[in-house]
A and B are shown apart, each in its own frame.
Chain A
Amino acid sequence: MAEAVAWVMLAVLAAYACAGGTDYGAGFWDLCAGGAERGERPRRLIDHAMEPVWEANNVWLIFLMVIMWTGFPPFFAAVFSAMWLPLVLVVLGLVLRGAGFALRRPARRLTQRRVYGAVFAVSSLLVPFFFGAVIGGVASGRVAPGTPASADAWANPTSAVTGLMAVGATAFLGAVFLTADARRYQAPDLVDYFRLRAWWSLAALVVLAFIGLPVTHHDAAYVWDRITGGVPLALIVVAAATALVTALLLARRALRWCRYTAVAGVVLVIAAWGAAQRPYLLPTSLTVGQAAGVPPTLTWLLIVTGIAVLLVGPGLGLLYWLDTRGKLEALTDADTEEERPPAEPV
């Protein structure tokens, strides 16, 4: 049962990596869009694409944390103790990002908008980097129950590689989704714009992977040994194949399917990492079984998750469906300011 809960946790992590990751990627491209004039159109597309969904996407993270502390309390405590600083930076980044995004629209003056926009974009880069660094620290066995907070836990070669890869993966997802959104909003020039960026970020990921292999060989020995053989390797190979397919689909402008293949690629890599870590949550100091909470709680956690899937699933489906059909549109000044019949005195 603990194993099942661990897979649920990994699935939620993957969902957050894809849903949240796409938003971070959008922020990354916002950062790279250049000056106010030149970046105007890509930025507008980014705003339009993110608006209705970023809050829902953020909730995956909350749920991930809840599963961590309910299902595997010692694991949660160990990660949050050892990774104190990067996680503080993550949460500050999350606040800045949400606030920067939410407040840049109402800011009417260009300078204010620039400030909020910059805050949003820079923090979109920092959050995935530090999340990646935390994962690298865990995968390289630097966190064990009782490890005090230290710089080594997250400032090490593996963390650097995984942090950069997390940024690369979000940039890739963001670019692929924005390419499809550009088509949806009938902006052919932006289709080419983001397509190019999707290819570039994929190339960057490949380069990073090849740099990462030798760097992490001894640094993250346990995971490295596993990920280079057996099921994890098979998953990695399939992930590489889907990434290649994504690149080809983009080239042929088959934009309907490229989003799914891009997501599949990211999910498969995360699954490979999970499979490689088995049976450990913290290689090589804490197994899934050791970290698991008591059985009744795990049963209930699965039940609550099941009910929630039944409840939230249709809701989320409806949201995405309405969104892709262009049914969701924000209120404008005209809606809230439309003149009322002349004020009737009472």
Chain B
Amino acid sequence: MHSAVTLLTDSPPQMLPARQLMAFTLATHILLVPMGVALPFVTLLVHHRGLRRNDPVALQLARRWSAVMAVQFAIGIVTGTILTFEFGLLWPGLMGHWGDVFGLGFGVEGWAFFLEAVMIAIYLYGWRRLDPKVHFWLAVPLPFAALLGAFGIIAANSWMNTPQGFTLDAQGDVVNVTVQQAVFTPIFGPEYWHFAVAMFLTAGYVVAGVYAVGWLRGRRDRYHRLGFTVPFTVAAILTPVQLVVGDTIARAVFHKQPTKFAAMEIVWTTDTHVPEYIFGRLNADGTISGGLKIPQLDSMLAGFKPSTQVTGLTAVPAADRPTPAEATLVHWTFDIMVILGSLLLLLALWYAVAWFRHRDLPRSRWFFRCAAAAGVASLVSVECGWITTEVGRQPWIVYQNMRVAEAVTATRASSLWAMLGVVVALYVVLFSAFLTVLRKLHHHWRIADEGLAPNRPAHAPESDTPYGPREEAGLAAGPSHPSAQDGTPRG
């Protein structure tokens, strides 16, 4: 069955909406993932500080970040559930043919999510009634569970990029699998570490960015200072690490996925002394318009000497490589990721220098402006990195083994376009509701912090998070709005 479809070179009409839908849902899910993976870690850091030094400000931060985690985790789960279904709804060919080769990674991921969901529930709901020490220690495995989940997901994705560990019979059906090889594929190591560091770095810059904005608005108290310093320090330490790891993965791609590398650097013909282009557009005839050309640099970066030979796009037939438009997109997203990564390094250096010179945060307002933008910049880098990975693999869904066209569902294109429309509309509502909730939380905390709590508008007195009080008294007594046990005057 597999080989029969290979003959079919032009893509079926349902492929475009299927790809758009997959790309859209992944691109939105990935925005939540850094927080899902790393927010527990950052929260535990301030939580630990709060317990060790008996610091109420740090504990306050940890409690508030937990409240954010509660909402964000719920949205992460629903967007992730859609992705899981899409593997069947959009790519039955991929799962039907290769499920037993690379599905195991998802198995690890599934259980890791399970652990994560259990521990997050205990952490979020344990604040009030559990012993503080027990509560903290029960949450300590959380970051490890998150890393385990990432292990599964990245194992699956890196297998799609550098598939191995299976033997095929004459019909192209899988007859044997070496699980270890299928999990630890050549690109897995670099991809995993690059991804994991990206998640912690991004979460750090995003959280710090919120407090940088507060700082710029003149809220220069210890609360904002701590809320900025802890996550920003984590991110600043990881930034140089990320550049080193990024360099490693780029070279791994050069060796293991030469065609993708050619697209990233828009190299048309295989050659030595290849120049590096910063931006620029690849035309259908292989010429390059615009962009900044730096002679020899690409060969230098790939192999440390100008005589390094770099494989060009034309080394494989046109049907087996990304189109010039796709290559241009990959090239741009790659360049944006690298440029943003380098700018983040400068920011981290600024912070380090200020710290070593006068043991304090930089004083310049420009530093905080940049810090506020760093969260967005790292989210953009994450998106760009994934577009590089995914579009650079085209037209393969499993590199050199299965085309996207062979994997796609037989469902009519019109149904898929309709589904895309519904999902986009749903996500617009979902994410606006999510942001509204975050804005409201922020607003209420501001009011509370400025000592204006008694003037609070008289809404139904329940918590802002998806989860309200659970006191028995409230239900037993039966009035519609039980007062909170801890006696804060309400409503």
A218 within 8 A of B: no
Which single member of A95, A311, A330 contacts B467 (CB below 8 Å)? A330
Q: A102-B75, A330-B467 are in contact. Are A52 and B125 (CB under 8 A)?
A: yes
- Number of interchain pairs (Cβ within 8 Å): 343
Binds B, one of A21-29, A71-79, A195-203: A71-79
Binds B, one of A58-66, A168-176, A224-232, A241-249: A58-66
Which single member of B103, B129, B471 contacts A327 (CB below 8 Å)? B129
Are A105 and B115 in touch, CB under 8 angstroms? no
Q: A102-B75, A296-B177 are in contact. Are A308 and B114 (CB under 8 A)?
A: yes
Which single member of B125, B126, B444, B475 contacts A41 (CB below 8 Å)? B475
Q: A99-B430, A301-B107, A319-B118 are in contact. Are A296 and B81 (CB under 8 A)?
A: no
Are A80 and B67 in touch, CB under 8 angstroms? no
Shortest Cβ distance from A303 into chain B, in angstroms? 9
* Interface of B (DSSP majority class): helix
Are A73 and B111 in touch, CB under 8 angstroms? no
Q: A73-B96, A102-B466, A108-B459 are in contact. Are A319 and B121 (CB under 8 A)?
A: yes
A215 within 8 A of B: no
* B72 and chain A: residue at smallest CB distance: A102
Residues of A within 8 A of B317 (CB): none
* B434 and chain A: residue at smallest CB distance: A103
Residues of A within 8 A of B80 (CB): 62
* A37 and chain B: residue at smallest CB distance: B480
Shortest Cβ distance from A206 into chain B, in angstroms? 32
A70 within 8 A of B: yes
Shortest Cβ distance from A235 into chain B, in angstroms? 28
A234 within 8 A of B: no
B100 within 8 A of A: yes
B157 within 8 A of A: no
Which single member of B67, B178, B448, B461 contacts A296 (CB below 8 Å)? B178
Are B107 and A76 in touch, CB under 8 angstroms? no
B373 within 8 A of A: no
B64 within 8 A of A: yes
Are B88 and A61 in touch, CB under 8 angstroms? no
Measured CA separation A297–B179 after assembly (Å): 7
Which single member of A95, A105, A190 contacts B468 (CB below 8 Å)? A105
Measured CA separation A319–B97 after assembly (Å): 38
Are A331 and B430 in touch, CB under 8 angstroms? no
Are B476 and A186 in touch, CB under 8 angstroms? yes
Shortest Cβ distance from B279 into chain A, in angstroms? 38
Are B430 and A95 in touch, CB under 8 angstroms? yes
Residues of B within 8 A of A105 (CB): 462-463, 465-468
Are B118 and A316 in touch, CB under 8 angstroms? yes
B7 within 8 A of A: no
B453 within 8 A of A: yes
Residues of A within 8 A of B433 (CB): 99, 103
Measured CA separation A98–B484 after assembly (Å): 26
Binds A, one of B46-54, B215-223, B267-275, B387-395: B215-223
Are B449 and A76 in touch, CB under 8 angstroms? no
Interfacial residues of chain A within 309-331, with CB under 8 A of chain B in the complex: 311-312, 315-316, 318-319, 322, 326-331
Q: A71-B100, A99-B74 are in contact. Are A343 and B448 (CB under 8 A)?
A: no
Measured CA separation A333–B223 after assembly (Å): 18
Residues of A within 8 A of B469 (CB): 329-330, 332
Residues of A within 8 A of B466 (CB): 51, 101-106
Residues of A within 8 A of B140 (CB): none
Residues of B within 8 A of A63 (CB): 107, 110-111, 114
Q: A329-B129, A333-B461, A340-B449 are in contact. Are A56 and B470 (CB under 8 A)?
A: no
Interfacial residues of chain B within 92-138, with CB under 8 A of chain A in the complex: 92-93, 95-101, 103-104, 106-111, 113-115, 117-122, 124-130, 138
**30 contacts across the A-B interface (CB closer than 8 A):** A44-B475, A51-B470, A55-B77, A70-B106, A73-B95, A73-B96, A73-B97, A76-B88, A77-B95, A80-B92, A84-B89, A87-B85, A91-B82, A95-B430, A99-B430, A105-B462, A108-B459, A149-B411, A186-B472, A187-B476, A293-B100, A294-B100, A319-B121, A327-B130, A328-B126, A330-B463, A336-B445, A338-B60, A338-B448, A344-B222
Query: What residues make up the interface of B, taking CB atoms closer than 8 Å to A?
Result: 56-57, 60, 63-64, 66-67, 70-71, 73-75, 77-82, 84-85, 87-89, 92-93, 95-101, 103-104, 106-111, 113-115, 117-122, 124-130, 138, 174-179, 219-223, 225, 409-411, 415, 419, 422-423, 426, 430, 433-434, 437, 440-441, 444-445, 447-449, 451, 453, 459-472, 474-476, 478, 480, 484, 486, 488
Beyond contacts A88-B419, A330-B128: 19 other A-B pairs, Cβ-Cβ < 8 A, are A51-B466, A52-B467, A65-B87, A76-B88, A81-B411, A95-B430, A99-B74, A105-B463, A149-B410, A293-B99, A293-B100, A293-B103, A294-B177, A304-B104, A315-B119, A329-B471, A330-B470, A331-B463, A343-B222
The 8 closest A-B pairs by CB, nearest first: A293-B100, A77-B96, A80-B88, A70-B103, A330-B467, A73-B99, A328-B125, A337-B448
